[in-house]
Every structure is written in C-alpha cells, then in structure tokens.
Structure 1
Amino acid sequence: MFDLIIRRGRLSDGTLSDIAIHDGKIAALGQVAGAAKCEWDLAGRYWLSAGWIDSHVHCYPKSPIYHDEADRIGVDTGVTTVVDAGSTGADDIDDFYQLTRSADTRVYALLNIARSGILTQNELADMARIDGPAVRAAVQRLPGFILGLKARISSSVVEKNGIQPLERAKTMQQENGRLPLMVHIGNNPPNLDDIANLLTSGDIITHCFNGKPNRILTPEGELRASITRALQRGVRLDVGHGSASFSFAVAQAAIAQGILPHTISSDIYCRNRLHGPVYTLAHVMSKFLNIGMTLPQVIDCVTCHAADGLRLKGKGRLLPGEDADLTLFAVEQGSCLFSDSDGQTLSGATQLVPVAAVVGGQVFVTNEGKKRNDFSV
C-alpha cells in the first residue's frame, strides 16, 4: 500500500497524471493502480510539478542585514527547497546548519567566500576576510549542506579591491572540487566584462536581469559579447530578483531575443517578502509568465534546471525513485499588477497560486490551499 496517491494532477505540459508516494520517494507515475493510506483526486483542477527550488534566498535568522525563516519562504509558499546564497561564511555556517535541522523545508547553503558572511554590505572590502583554509574546512565539515560558494562582486561589496575577490573565489573553487560558484553582479567597478571573462562552465551569474549600468545588455539592447562567450562556455544565468536587482525592461528585451534564465530565484528575505517587490517565489515566477516565458519553461527553472545547476541529487524531476518533493498549484487568470526592483509596473493576467507542498512525502497545505478545502492530510 502506498502512503499517498495524488490522482489526475495536471503537469506543466497540460497532461494529467497520477503520482504515488511511499517511504518518502516517488513510487509510481501515470495511471497508478492500487490503494493508499491517503488519496487526493485533483481532477485536473490543480497543477503538479517536482518541488520548487528557490536557489537564491537569505534565511539565516541571525544575519543583521538579510534574514528570514526558512519555512516562511519555503513550505508556507509551496517551495520545498531553499538555498541560502551567502548569508553565512565559515564563521557562522555551523550555527546556520544546526538551526535549519528543525525546518520542514529542505535548506542548503552557498558559502560566502568572506568568513564573516554578510555582517556588513562590504564583506569583500577586506581581503583578509577571504580565508581559503577556513572555506576548505567548512566544506569538509558540511559536504551535504554546502552546495557551492557565493561571491558578491559589485562596487559596494568589494570597494577598492575590484576583481581580486573573484580571482580568489575561483582559486578556492578549484581547491574544493569545482563546487558551483554563484557570482552576484551589480554596480561597477569591477566591470561586468572583467567578471564574465573569469567565469567557467557551471558558474552562475545571479541578478542577471538587473537594470544597473553594469548589466548584461548593451545600451543598444544587445547581449554583451562577454556574456555571449560566457554562456557558450556553460555559464548559467540566475534571476535573483531581490529588492534592487530585477528590471522588467531588461528581462523583456533579453527574453524577446531568446536569452532565458537558467534558474528563477527570488533573493527573498523578510523585508522584500513583507513589503515587496518579491513577496514569494510564486510571485516572481508569475512575472515571467507575463513577460514571455511559457509555463513549462518557468517550472523547469525552479525544478530540473535548479537541481542540475546546484548538483542536487534526487530532486527536480518527477521520476520513480526520486525524493517525494512536490508542489501543487493553481494557474489563475485575472488582472494583476506586478512591480520590478526599479519601481516600474506591469499589468498581467496570469498568476501561480501554490496550494500545497510535499517534502519527503510529508504534506504541507498552504494558507491558500486551506481556504479551498480540497486537501485532507
């Protein structure tokens, strides 16, 4: 007997499928025969995907600048996995790890190359904070928790050090088994061309659609040659919306040229969750549905593409034997107004509304799902 069967869920391609869960894993897909301790029949009313992965959040609750609670930005909003992007460095990563063990959401971390993490906005202004041995020791202590490294390479963070912190980050990446390296871009110096030229296959540019002068598009609206070359080398683009790093104009111009993000992430923390313009990962995903991406493309950005980019095993796909991490959601039509990080607005007609998250077979119904009375646990 299965633990749970979800029947007639609508997949992102529009087809209907059952899914059976047993012992925390996906046991069967398609037309599932047999009984379960609990069954839901979605009757095609709700959509079903692998669990959503937000690959850029800030949820270390002790961080003085960017902080939140993992479950508030995770299962409460239909997100099954969050990856904290550099809130902590080697000094605090063990504390962060222990705090996350009580979360229902699956939590991972990208380790800030500054051992202090983000205690201040300029953590890479002092090169002495970039401690290679401390990074190596942390990665060795927490290999299942630390998925990669994070380097914030913009003028307010590096100050007079320019490109040097990124050069050190690339050295540390080599010393630690070529872990994924996420690089924050923003105001220059350093120039984005100099950043892009150092990046190699699997590296991640986050805040890829920011509207700052140091952006991926030229003043003429074309993709910078350095970014074209980086993409050809296998560098990945991550949205990392945040409070100051997403422009509708840049995203629309890029998507119109076929330049799609590999991953859609929120860069969420308490302030931009409560007061916008982020609110939730679903809200950020909805923006991309309204500026030219299809539902399958958007879902791939928070499932299989996110899992692949961060080497998350057992996640991101609806396949037998994979972790039973699922997101159930509605696709609702109706007038809605979205805002970017530059204060610009966009009228939309489609919104994603998460109704439940399943993490390792355990069900978490969102507040919106509870209102609908369609799910009994």
Structure 2
Amino acid sequence: MFDLVIRRARLPDGSLTDIAISDGKIAALGEVRGEAATEKDLAGQYWLSAGWIDSHVHCYPKSPIYHDEADRIGVATGVTTVVDAGSTGADDIDAFYQITREADTRVHALLNIARTGIVTQNELADMSQIDKVGIRDAIKRLPGFILGIKARMSSSVVGANGIHPLVRAKEIQQENGDLPLMVHIGNNPPDLDEIANLLGSGDIITHCYNGKPNRILTPAGELRASVKRALDRGVRLDVGHGSASFSFEVARVAIAQGILPYTISSDIYCRNRINGPVHSLAHVMSKFFSVGMTLPQIIDCVTLHAAQSLRLRDRGRLEVGLDADLTLFDLKEEPCLFIDSEGQSVAGEKQLIPLAAVVGGEWFITDEGKKHHVVNL
C-alpha cells in the first residue's frame, strides 16, 4: 500500500499523471494502480511539478540585515527547498544549521567566504575576514547542509580589494572538492569582465539581469564578450531578483537573444517579501512570462536546473526513487501588474499561484491554497 497517491495531476507539458509516494520517495508514476492510505484527485484541474527550489534566499533569522523564516518563504509559498546564499559565514553556520532543523522546508546554505557572513554590507573589505581553515572545517562538519560558497563581488562589499576576494574564493573552491561557487555581481569595481574571466564550468553568476552599469549587456544591448566566453565555458546565470537586481528591460533584451537564466531565484528576505518587489518565488517566476519564457522553461529553472546547479541529486525531477518533493499550483490567466527592481512596471497576463507543497511525502497547504480552499482536497 502506498502512503499517498495524487491522481490526474497536470504536468507543465500539459499531460496528466498519477504519482504514488511511499516512505518519503516517489514510488510510481503514470497510471498508478493500488491502494493508498491517502488519495488526492486533482482531476486535471491543477498543475504539479517537482518541488520548487529557491536557490538564492536569505533566511538566517539572526542576521541583522537580510533575514526571514525558512517556512515563511518555503512551504507557505509552495517552495520545498530553500538555499540561503551567504547570510552566514564560518562563525555562525552551526547556529544557522541548528535553527533549520526545526523547519518543514528543506534548508541548505552557500557559505559566505567572509567568516562573519553579511553582518555589515562590506564583509569583504577586509581580506582577513576570509579564513580558509574556518571554511574548510565548516564544510567538513556540515557536508549535506553546505552546498557551496558565496562571494559578493560589488564595490560596496569589497571596498578597495577589487577582484582579490574572488581570486581567494576560487582557491577555496578548488581546495574543497570544487564546490559550486555563486558570485554576486553589482556596481563596479571590480568590473564584470574581471569577474567573468575568473569563472569556470558550474560557477553561478547571480543578479544576472540587474540594470546597473556593470551588467551583462553592453550599452548597445549585446552580450558582453567576457560573459559569452564564460557561458561557453559552462558558467550559469541565476536571476537573484532581490530589491535592486532585476530589470525587465535587461531580461527582455537578453532573453530575446536566447540568453536565458539557468535558474530563477528570488533573493527574498523579510522586507522585499512584504514590501516588494519580490513577494515570493512564484511572483518572481510569473514575471518571466512577460519577457518571453514558457511554463516548461520557467519550471525547469526552479526544479531540474536548480537541483543540477547545486548538486541536489535526489530532487528536481519526477522520477521513481527520488525525494517526494512536489509543488501543486494553478496558472491564473488574468491581467496583473509586475514591478522590477528599477521601479518599472509591466502588465502581465499570467500568474503562478502555489497551492500546496509536498516535502518528503508530507502535504502542506500554502497561504494561497488556504484562500482557494485547496485544504479540502
């Protein structure tokens, strides 16, 4: 007997499937026969995908600048896995880990290369903040929790140190099993060309569609040569919307040239969740309908691609034997207004509404799901 069977779920490609879950894993797909302790029949009315992964959030509650609650930005909004992108460094990563054990959402971290994490806005202005031994020991202590490392490479963060913190980050990466490296880009110095030239296969550029002068597009609207070379080497683009790092115009021009994000992430924390322009991962995902992406492309960015980018091998796909992490959602087709980080607005016509999250086979109704009475399913 299965623990749970979800029947007639609509997949992003429009097809219908049943999904059976046992012991926290996907046990069967297709037309599932057999009994279950619990059955939920979606009758083709609702969409379902592998669980959404937000690969750039800030959810260390004790962080003085960027903080939030994992479940508030996780299962309450249809997100089954969140990855905190550098809120903590080696000094506080153990405390963060202990807090996350209480969450229903799966929580991981990218370790800030500065030992204090983001306690101030200029954590890499002092090179002595980068403690290789402390980083190495933290990675050894928490191998399933720490997925990679994070370096924020903009002028307000690095001060007079320019590109040097990124050179150190690449050394740390290579000394610790070639972990994923996420690099924040913003105002220069360092110049984006310097940053891109140091990055290799699997490295992640976050805030890829920011509207600042140090962006991926030239003034003529073409992809910078350094960024093109980096993408050819296997560097990946992550959205990291945030309060100041997403421009509709940059995204529209880039995507029209085939420069798509590999991952869509929110860079969410309490203030940009409550006051905007982020609000939720679903809200950020919905913006990409307005710049030329399809539903399957958008879903891949928060499932398959996100899992691949951070080496979460048991998540991101609907496949027998993988974690039973799922997101149930609706696609509302009605006029809606979206605002980017530049204050520019775009009239949209589609919006993703997360209704439920399933984490390891456990069912959670989202805030939107409660409004839509999905609790009765």
Q: Secondary structure at the match of 1:351?
A: strand
Partner of 1:182: 182
Partner of 2:163: 163
Q: How does 1:143-162 map to 2 (within 5 A)?
A: 143-162=143-162
Deviation string, structure 1 residues 257-290 (Cα, Å, up to 9, x no partner):
0110000000000000000000000000000012
Partner of 1:222: 222
Question: Equivalents in 1 of 2:375, 2:320: separation in Å?
Answer: 23
Q: CA deviation at 1:375?
A: 3.9
Tell me if structure 1 keeps the 8 A contact 2:111–2:150: yes
Tell me if structure 2 keeps the 8 A contact 1:93–1:111: yes
Deviation string, structure 1 residues 24-53 (Cα, Å, up to 9, x no partner):
000000110111111111111100000000
Partner of 1:116: 116
TM normalised by structure 1 equals 0.99
Partner of 1:303: 303
Q: Secondary structure at the match of 1:290?
A: helix
Partner of 2:255: 255
Partner of 2:138: 138
Q: CA deviation at 1:156?
A: 0.2
Question: Equivalents in 1 of 2:27, 2:250: separation in Å?
Answer: 42
Q: Secondary structure at the match of 1:80?
A: strand
Report percent identity of matched pairs: 76
1:322 aligns to 2:322 (yes or no): yes
Q: How does 1:34-53 map to 2 (within 5 A)?
A: 34-53=34-53
Question: Equivalents in 2 of 1:216, 1:260: separation in Å?
Answer: 12
Question: Equivalents in 2 of 1:120, 1:52: separation in Å?
Answer: 30
Tell me if structure 2 keeps the 8 A contact 1:40–1:375: no
Deviation string, structure 1 residues 43-65 (Cα, Å, up to 9, x no partner):
11100000000000000000000
Q: CA deviation at 1:319?
A: 0.3
Tell me if structure 1 keeps the 8 A contact 2:77–2:368: no
Partner of 2:242: 242
Partner of 2:68: 68
Question: Equivalents in 1 of 2:99, 2:372: separation in Å?
Answer: 32
Q: Secondary structure at the match of 2:174?
A: helix
Q: What residue identity is the alignment partner of 1:179?
A: L
Partner of 2:26: 26
Question: Equivalents in 2 of 1:317, 1:375: separation in Å?
Answer: 25
Q: What residue identity is the alignment partner of 1:186?
A: G
Question: Equivalents in 2 of 1:31, 1:43: separation in Å?
Answer: 13
Partner of 2:331: 331
Question: Equivalents in 1 of 2:29, 2:291: separation in Å?
Answer: 32
1:205 aligns to 2:205 (yes or no): yes
Q: CA deviation at 1:294?
A: 0.4
Q: What residue identity is the alignment partner of 2:59?
A: C
Question: Equivalents in 2 of 1:86, 1:360: separation in Å?
Answer: 26
Partner of 1:196: 196
Question: Equivalents in 1 of 2:42, 2:70: separation in Å?
Answer: 28
Q: 1:4 to 1:366 in 2, by over 3 A?
A: same
Q: What residue identity is the alignment partner of 2:223?
A: L
Q: Secondary structure at the match of 1:301?
A: helix
Q: How does 1:81-120 map to 2 (within 5 A)?
A: 81-120=81-120
Question: Equivalents in 1 of 2:368, 2:310: separation in Å?
Answer: 30
Tell me if structure 1 keeps the 8 A contact 2:324–2:358: yes
Tell me if structure 1 keeps the 8 A contact 2:355–2:374: no
Q: CA deviation at 1:376?
A: 4.3
Question: Equivalents in 2 of 1:197, 1:329: separation in Å?
Answer: 40
Q: What residue identity is the alignment partner of 1:74?
A: G
Tell me if structure 1 keeps the 8 A contact 2:84–2:110: yes
Q: Secondary structure at the match of 1:241?
A: coil
Tell me if structure 2 keeps the 8 A contact 1:240–1:265: yes
Partner of 1:349: 349
Tell me if structure 2 keeps the 8 A contact 1:79–1:105: yes
1:79 aligns to 2:85 (yes or no): no
Q: CA deviation at 1:372?
A: 2.9
Question: Equivalents in 2 of 1:228, 1:367: separation in Å?
Answer: 40
Q: What residue identity is the alignment partner of 1:106?
A: R
**1-10 or 78-87, which deviates more:** 1-10
Question: Equivalents in 2 of 1:42, 1:375: separation in Å?
Answer: 12
Q: Secondary structure at the match of 2:82?
A: strand
Q: Secondary structure at the match of 1:138?
A: helix
Q: 1:18 to 1:345 in 2, by over 3 A?
A: same
Q: CA deviation at 1:373?
A: 2.9
1:363 aligns to 2:363 (yes or no): yes
Q: Secondary structure at the match of 2:183?
A: strand
Partner of 1:129: 129
Structure 2 unaligned residues grouped into runs of 5+: none
Tell me if structure 2 keeps the 8 A contact 1:53–1:79: yes
Q: Secondary structure at the match of 2:327?
A: strand
Q: CA deviation at 1:155?
A: 0.2
Q: What residue identity is the alignment partner of 1:124?
A: L
Question: Equivalents in 1 of 2:57, 2:361: separation in Å?
Answer: 24
Question: Equivalents in 2 of 1:176, 1:27: separation in Å?
Answer: 35
Q: CA deviation at 1:369?
A: 1.4
Q: CA deviation at 1:211?
A: 0.1
Tell me if structure 1 keeps the 8 A contact 2:153–2:185: yes
TM normalised by structure 2 equals 0.99
Question: Equivalents in 2 of 1:24, 1:96: separation in Å?
Answer: 25
RMSD: 0.7
